[in-house]
Amino acid sequence: MLVAALACGACAAFALRGRPVGVASPVGLLTRVWAVLKSPQRTRDTVALRRPPLKLPLVEPRIVVTKSRRTLDLYSDGRIVRTYRIGLGFDPAGDKMKEGDGRTPEGSFYVYVKNPKSNYYLSLGLSYPTDTHAARGLRDGLITKEQHDQITRALQQKIGPPQNTSLGGLIYIHGHGSMSDWTLGCIALDDEEMKELYEAVPKGVEVSVKP
């Protein structure tokens, strides 16, 4: 459909001007369109590369995500040392309630896993669901008492809580672009910025996600 639409545009230009417009083929059209679509990511990655490098190791690093601003602030020694643009879940307003709602969860988390082989470039796994989500899920009948207790025990041990309940799971900070709210609930950064963040923070780092 995209090729057809562009081809029709080329034909119209030919008819109006009486000469070729310089578009050789549908393949050429797609190549040009793909370059346009990719250019925002490339531009942002280029800007990221031009920043002075972070001074590592960070001192008492922590992460603060502000959903309404679409930003992720990286702190070291109580100061913001980086602010990254982010994309959220496809239905970002409000806290995550259950699996499949498209919301990015809010609250206090820690990174329980770092995945260098993520399908989304690199990723940091967040300790969702929290105690708050578990208590609400139990109250609303979304999870059992046993599931609730499994979640709370995991959080006490600072490991990954169960990811397969009706509350949902697999919430990550990962790459592949901040251009829009396109994830299923994760927090997405542009790839070069994700690389910098991934290398800067250790497993266990605190993450606060605010409305």
DSSP string, 171-194: -EEE-S--SSS-BSS-EE--HHHH
pLDDT of residue 50: 76
Q: Which of 26-30, 37-41, 182-186 has the highest mean pLDDT?
A: 182-186
36 to 104, 116, 119, 173, 182: CA distances (angstroms): 29, 29, 23, 26, 19
The amino acid at residue 182 is W
Decide which of 1.20.1250.20, 2.60.40.420, 3.30.365.10, 2.40.440.10 is the CATH code for 62-210. 2.40.440.10
- Distance of CA 61 to CAs 76, 86, 115, 208, Å? 5, 19, 19, 12
**What's the predicted TM-score (pTM) here?**
0.78
Ramachandran angles phi, psi of 65, nearest 5°: -105, 130
Q: Which residues contact 42 (CB under 8 A, 6 or more apart)?
A: none
pLDDT for residue 167 = 99
| Residue 33, pLDDT above cutoff 70 | no
| DSSP 8-state symbol, 160 | P
What is the band of 31 on the pLDDT scale with cuts at 50, 70, 90?
A: very low
Q: What's the whole-number average pLDDT of the chain?
A: 85
Contacts of 18 by beta carbon, 8 Å cutoff, 6+ apart: none
Q: Are the C-beta atoms of 88 and 67 separated by less than 8 Å? A: yes
Contacts of 72 (CB under 8 A, 6+ apart): 63, 64, 65, 83, 84, 86, 173, 187, 189, 197
- Of 65, 45, 51, 140, nearest in space to 105 by CA: 65
Domain ranges for the chain: 2-50, 62-210
Indicate whether 12 pLDDT > 70. no
pLDDT digits (tens, 9 = 90+) for 61-78: 999 999 999 999 999 999
Percent of the chain with pLDDT over 70: 77
Q: What whole-number distance in Å separates Cα of residue 5 and Cα of residue 9?
A: 6
